[in-house]
Amino acid sequence: MMKKYLLIASLFCSAGVYSQNTNSPYSVIGIGDVENNFYNRTAGMANTGYAYRNDRYMINNNPASYTALQRQFFAVELSGRAQFISYTGTPIAVGSSGSKDFAIKRLAVGTKVNKWWASGLGLAPFSTANYGFSYTKSIVGSTVGLPATVDGNGSVNQVYWNNAFDITKHLSVGVQTSYLFGSLNQTENLYTTALQESLTTTDQNYLRSFYFTYGAQFYHPITKDWDASIGATFSNKTNLASESTVTVTDNNGQLLSSTIVKDDYFKLPHTIGGGVSLSHSKKYKALTKKFTWSADYKYQDWASTRYSGPGFSLQDAQRASAGFEVSNNLQAYNNAFLEKSYFQAGLYYGTSYLSINGHQLEEMGVTFGYGFITKFSPLAGHVMLEIGQRGTTQNGLIKERFVNLGFTVSYRDLWYTKGRKYN
């Protein structure tokens, strides 16, 4: 099934017009755009969270972080994102210089089951594809070329189950068990002007596999007002199983052929991530501010999958990010503190797994976030802004500039008390 993507990738090398009216022209290759966003509280910190811990929000960057959740509570989170993209480059057709969309990105529920075990379930995207372009297709054995249009869409989603365990007072480990599933669909239309006829080829790839991510966090106070933590995650190389259905129909909708193919469609590489986090608390009368600095690094050995074609190849991907957060906490009863609001900022730089026409795609951006907790209800909210860019206009490629607006709504309530009053 990779032959289809090898052919399409070669179009980036041609001088044809790329008519983009959806999301990302680069999602035509591989399994589309692989998500680097976790759509949780760390979104305003450039998704920097391998070592980050929080007692209210589920930080799915690292499954080991779930042990930080407060006991006797369960939490539900819903996240969404609006995206606005502009495109520049010689392949862009007139009138196709931008796109926008909105999607619900994550639904999660979790709780601290007992003093040493936390667990949670979630649904989130793993990768997405959404593109459209036109080109002239050569007919084998002749000099004739036919106009063709190609449209593609789909996604690989993940249902995950996080389990985290306290090994000692300062060490937690966790595992995220995910089931990846979804489909990538592509439709090609060929049209002959002389005969006034068309052929439509539809390729539907259904993907599935289990996927595991392992994590650990070590956290320890440095002084009375300073805390430090380190975290790491690891994911195994995984084969995505595929069942592909290819159908060909004419302009009257009559089925001309249908083929079903089962094979190993795509390989996911080893992924290693690590990070550090440093927090400082400072009192201002009844208000205590908590300052947090975090930094992450992620590496994926995509080159080991050995996928390549005319004008493109898969290369090792890297991503580095840093984030800052200041949290405002009000002093409550029994010397406890209640978080009122927080502000975040972050930045990131990364190289994509795609190298096209000798250029490995780069992505960079800045993020900002703000969160608040309602005083008399179990609801809390988080909003974020991301401004960034990906790609280049060199060698006939396309540069994407994007603005993302995201939100997370969190609901938390008592799960059980066993007759005890919660303090």
pLDDT value of residue 124: 97
What per-residue confidence (pLDDT) applies to 195?
57
pLDDT at 401: 95
Q: Is 296 exposed, middle or buried (0-12, 13-18, 19+ CB in 10 A)?
A: buried
Residues 309-330 have pLDDT tens digits of: 777 889 999 999 999 999 998 8
**Hey, where are the domains in the chain?**
2-414
CATH number of 2-414: 2.40.160.60
The mean pLDDT of the chain is 87
pLDDT digits (tens, 9 = 90+) for 190-234: 877 665 678 888 999 999 999 999 999 999 999 999 999 999 999
Question: For the chain, how are helix, strand and coil distributed in percent, rounded to 5?
Answer: 10, 65, 25
pLDDT at 194: 62
Q: Tell me what pLDDT residue 336 has.
A: 64
Does residue 268 have a pLDDT over 50? yes
Q: Which residue has the higher pLDDT, 33 or 330?
A: 33
Q: What is the pLDDT of residue 99?
A: 87
Quote the pLDDT of residue 23.
67
Query: What is the sign of the dihedral through the CA atoms of 223, 163, 31 and 104?
Result: negative
301 or 394: which leads in pLDDT: 301
pLDDT band at residue 96 under the 50/70/90 scheme: low
Residues above pLDDT 70, as percent of the chain = 87
**Residue 59 class from Cβ within 10 Å (0-12 exposed, 13-18 middle, 19+ buried)?**
buried
- Residue 147's nearest CA partner among 156, 135, 155 is 135
Question: For 259-268, what is the mean pLDDT?
Answer: 78
User: Is 232 in contact with 296 (CB distance < 8 Å)?
Assistant: no
pLDDT at site 24: 82
Percent of the chain with pLDDT over 90: 61
Handedness of CA 308, 313, 316, 322 (dihedral sign): negative
**Range with top average pLDDT, 24-33, 148-157, 383-392:** 383-392
The answer on pLDDT for 21 being more than 60 is no
**Mean pLDDT calculated for residue range 26-30:** 86
| pLDDT over 50 (residue 269) | yes
Please count the other Cβ atoms lying within 10 Å of the Cβ belonging to residue 293: 15
- Mean pLDDT: which of 125-129, 245-249, 251-255, 302-306 is highest? 125-129
Give pLDDT, residue 93.
67
Contact 353, 308 (CB under 8 A): no
For residue 321, the model assigns a pLDDT of: 98
Confidence of residue 374 (pLDDT cuts 50, 70, 90): confident
Give the least confident one: 182-186, 245-249, 289-293: 245-249
Which tokens hold the place of 395?
């060698």
The pair of structure tokens assigned to 161 is: 């189950």
Q: What is the pLDDT of residue 10?
A: 39
- Cα torsion 330, 335, 336, 339 to 10°: value is 10
Say yes or no to pLDDT of 406 above 80. Answer: yes
Q: According to the model, what pLDDT value does residue 20 have?
A: 38
Q: What is the mean pLDDT of residues 69-88?
A: 94
Read off the pLDDT band of 4 (50, 70, 90).
Answer: very low
For residue 66, give the nearest of 77, 75, 58, 74 by alpha carbon.
58
